[in-house]
Amino acid sequence: MAAAITTTSTTLEGQLFEVANALQASELALPEASRPNRISIAYDTENLGVTISVNFSVNNTVSGSQSTFSPIAYLP
């Protein structure tokens, strides 16, 4: 399981950006042969934006009429 990170941003958007960067750094720290490629961060410098794409496998738990999804850990 990957280590928890502490964010410093005071906004949810900033925290998402920090978590995405930490997740991408954790992926890139793995050997290239076994490295997953489940997160991408695309910077749009012209329009001052960023697009974060993430693809996780999930568990689905159903209780009555309630369905809950939780990501499956994939980083060591």
Confidence (pLDDT) at 35: 93
Q: Where are the alpha helices (DSSP H) in the chain?
A: 12-28
pTM above 0.75, yes or no: yes
Rounded Cα distance, 22 and 75, in Å: 12
Confidence (pLDDT) at 7: 95
Q: Are 67 and 61 in contact (CB under 8 A)?
A: yes
List the pLDDT tens digit at each of the 76 positions of the chain.
Answer: 667 899 999 999 999 999 999 999 999 999 999 999 999 999 999 999 999 999 999 999 999 999 999 999 988 7
